[in-house]
Amino acid sequence: MKERFRRLVFGSPESMAGTVYGTIVVLATLTAGSAGETGAAWELASIVAVTVIVLWIAHFYSHALAESLERGRRLDSAEVVSVAKRELSIPMAAVAPVFLLVLGATGVLREARAIWLAIAIGIATLAVEGARFASLEEVSRGRRVLVVALNILLGLSIVALKVLLSH
């Protein structure tokens, strides 16, 4: 159960690119959509969910089209499903943040706390993916720290935009 939760939130080594992409989309959407007004959690949850689903469809379609052109034929159903699953990490990156937003919208969490926790999950995901990448590439300890720091910096730069837009 714990492993399934970890894979749900942070993806797998095979889906790292989609997890990072989806996480950046979630963070950017949260940043652009939250200006600090009350009642925003439901709207943010909807916007984040719809945005990642639309982008997943675009990625799925474009990758399926590219693979079909590359093979010189239409993909069979198993190949289409394989492409869809491979790109599924994009919307999966939104599951935990959207869940937190729903908790904020229903009053289980304070709305502002839910939004900041959703952002924190995004930053944590970027850190985990940076560490996973560094581990898979078997880089030195110094480079591993650098990769994780750069991923965290990317997330924090999005947070800095949120703070600037909110004030």
User: What are the tens digits of pLDDT across the range 65-80?
Assistant: 999 999 999 999 999 9
Give the 3-state secondary structure of residue 137.
coil
- Give start and end residues of each alpha helix (H) in 11-140: 16-33, 40-71, 77-87, 89-92, 95-105, 111-136
User: What are the tens digits of pLDDT across the range 77-127?
Assistant: 999 998 888 889 899 999 999 999 999 999 999 998 999 999 999 999 988
User: How far apart (Å, rounded) are the C-alpha atoms in residues 153 and 148?
Assistant: 8
pTM of the entire structure? 0.80
Structure tokens at 29: 């959407």
User: How far apart (Å, rounded) are the C-alpha atoms in residues 53 and 91?
Assistant: 6
Greatest pairwise CA separation for the chain in angstroms: 53
The residue among 147, 105, 126 whose CA lies nearest residue 9 is 126
79 Cβ contact list (under 8 Å, min separation 6): 64, 67
Please say if the pLDDT value at position 154 is more than 90. no
Check: CB of residue 24 under 8 Å from CB of residue 152: no
| Rg of the chain over all Cα atoms, to the nearest angstrom | 17
pLDDT score at 35: 63
User: What are the tens digits of pLDDT across the range 36-60?
Assistant: 566 688 999 999 999 999 999 999 9
23 Cβ contact list (under 8 Å, min separation 6): 93, 122, 125, 126, 129, 155
Distance of CA 137 to the CA centre of its chain: 22
Which residue, chain included where needed, has tokens 């942070």? 10
